[in-house]
């Protein structure tokens, strides 16, 4: 549950240099994204380009290829992502800003719908509607780049914990953002269900003075100008049937190592409420 922030950072980082939503025009092209697990370096994804357009991402699960994603463009702006298992994402716009992002099963059934709200041209809220959650999880069980960005792991982990069935039950949740100048000050994820009430708050305590590679990202989930150095995560879930509320707090710190202006490694240390420290290393190879 506590890996959401790092996952979003580690994967959003590749999308730099766009001037409007849906446009990706990087100064340096990603070739491969990897992570360090114990002493083993594992590939997360490999990237294919045609001139200035990203056309394909091959994802990996351990050492095994998993979902392949192919990008479809309209006037150099991303409009669709086709997955090798037949599922797909559709992205629609209003006045050059994201309006709605939808995920579909191979048979065309809508599984996820995300509405994007802006304030002063910054993302202020994402409203999620999940249809047939179990089917969505089954289709994306091997993971994909886009689904990782758009499907909060905190929500998914909690729903798996409660053994959601594969029926047509609708699940709603949202993420809201507040800013301090050009940087996110607070990010709050909330969900209400007959089984639980969930609230996860990310408080961005410190930033560096370098340009954040996520700034004006491909899919603008976060949009801070600088790189976060310390984030406090407060987790609260009320289990209604058990009349019990669980609280947890963790602190995440980051170190960045650059190849010029572009990150070649991110190291995150997360300390939970029990004092346990988790270390994550993500590496970027460029063309």
Q: Which two tokens stand for residue 69?
A: 């994603």
pLDDT at 153: 55
Q: Is 8 helix (H, G, I), strand (E, B) or coil?
A: helix
Q: Are 180 and 206 in contact (CB under 8 A)?
A: no
pLDDT at 165: 46
Burial of 203 (0-12, 13-18, 19+ CB in 10 A): middle
Domain boundaries, the chain: 4-286
Q: How far apart are CA 193 and CA 102, in angstroms?
A: 22
pLDDT at 230: 96
pLDDT at 151: 55
Q: Which two tokens stand for residue 56?
A: 């394909």
Q: Are 208 and 219 in contact (CB under 8 A)?
A: no
Element (H, E) at 155: helix 153-161
pLDDT at 7: 37
C-alpha dihedral sign at 132, 137, 140, 145:
positive
**Residue 144 region, left (φ>0) first, then alpha (ψ -120 to 50), else beta?**
beta
CA distances from 154 to 161, 199, 259 (A): 11, 10, 32
Residues comprising the chain, all counted:
287
Nearest to 135 by CA among 157, 106, 173: 106
C-alpha dihedral sign at 122, 71, 33, 152:
positive
Q: Are 226 and 183 in contact (CB under 8 A)?
A: yes
The DSSP code for 52 is T
Q: What is the CA radius of gyration of the chain?
A: 18
pLDDT at 19: 47
Alpha helices, DSSP H only, in 13-150?
A: 133-139, 145-150
Summarize pLDDT for 184-207 with one digit per residue, the tens.
999 898 988 777 888 999 999 999
Q: How far apart are CA 13 and CA 148, in angstroms?
A: 13
Please identify, in words, the CATH class of the domain defined by 4-286: mainly beta
Q: What residue ranges of the chain have pLDDT lower than 50?
A: 1-19, 160, 164-166, 219
């Amino acid at each position: 549950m506590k890996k959401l922030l790092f996952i979003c950072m580690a994967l959003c980082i590749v999308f730099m240099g766009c001037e409007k939503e849906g446009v990706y025009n990087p100064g340096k092209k990603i070739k491969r994204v990897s992570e360090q697990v114990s002493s083993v370096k594992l590939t997360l994804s490999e990237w294919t380009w045609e001139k200035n357009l990203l056309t394909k991402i091959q994802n990996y699960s351990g050492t095994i290829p998993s979902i392949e994603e192919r990008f479809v463009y309209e006037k150099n702006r991303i409009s669709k992502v086709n997955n090798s298992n037949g599922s797909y994402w559709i992205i629609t716009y209003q006045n050059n800003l994201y309006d709605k992002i939808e995920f579909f099963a191979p048979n065309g059934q809508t599984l996820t719908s995300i509405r994007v709200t802006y304030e002063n041209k910054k993302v202020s809220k994402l409203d999620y509607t999940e249809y047939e959650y179990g089917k969505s999880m089954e289709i994306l069980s091997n993971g994909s780049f886009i689904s990782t960005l758009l499907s909060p792991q905190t929500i998914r982990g909690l729903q798996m914990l409660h053994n959601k069935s594969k029926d047509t039950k609708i699940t709603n949740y949202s993420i809201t953002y507040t800013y301090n100048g050009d940087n996110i000050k607070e990010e709050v994820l909330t969900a209400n269900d007959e089984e639980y009430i969930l609230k996860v708050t990310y408080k961005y305590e410190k930033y560096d003075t370098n340009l954040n590679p996520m700034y004006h990202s491909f899919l603008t989930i976060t949009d801070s100008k600088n790189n976060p150095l310390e984030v406090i995560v407060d987790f609260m879930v009320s289990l209604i049937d058990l009349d019990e509320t669980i609280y947890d707090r963790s602190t995440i710190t980051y170190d960045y190592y650059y190849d010029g202006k572009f990150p070649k490694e991110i190291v995150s240390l997360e300390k939970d409420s029990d004092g346990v420290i988790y270390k994550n290393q993500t590496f970027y190879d460029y063309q």
